[in-house]
């Protein structure tokens, strides 16, 4: 589960902002931009939404698909 540092509203725009993988201040930060770019720690990639609340993330290391639900400040 990811917890939020900051985010904007809107259906798929709810993901925009910085998300932390845990409450540990040293945990990896995932930063989603509204232009489809994502920064995971120091790794850059692209994301896009599919069906059934899925988000596809492509980085130089590979492609992953995650099922996501965003509720206020939790993903």
What is the DSSP code string of the chain?
Answer: --EEEEE--STGGGG-EEEESSS-TTSPEEEE-TTSEEEETTEEEEEEE-STTEEEEEETTEEEEEE---BTTB-
Q: What is the pLDDT of residue 23?
A: 85
pLDDT of residue 10: 36
Residues of the chain with pLDDT under 50: 1, 3-11
pLDDT for the residue 14: 85
Domain extent for 10: 3-67
- Classify residue 14: in a domain, yes or no: yes
Instruction: Report d(CA 36, CA 57) in Å as an integer.
Output: 10
Residue 24 lies in a domain: yes
Please work out, in degrees rounded to the nearest 5, the angle formed at the alpha carbon of residue 59 by the alpha carbons of 56 and 64.
Answer: 35
Domain count, the chain: 1
């Amino acid at each position: 589960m990811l917890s939020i540092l900051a985010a904007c509203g809107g259906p798929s725009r709810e993901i925009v902002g910085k998300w932390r993988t845990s409450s540990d201040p040293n945990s990896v930060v995932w930063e989603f931009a509204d232009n489809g770019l994502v920064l995971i720690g120091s790794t850059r990639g692209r994301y896009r939404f599919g069906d059934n609340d899925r988000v596809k993330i492509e980085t130089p290391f590979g492609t992953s698909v995650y099922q996501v639900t965003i509720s206020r400040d939790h993903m």
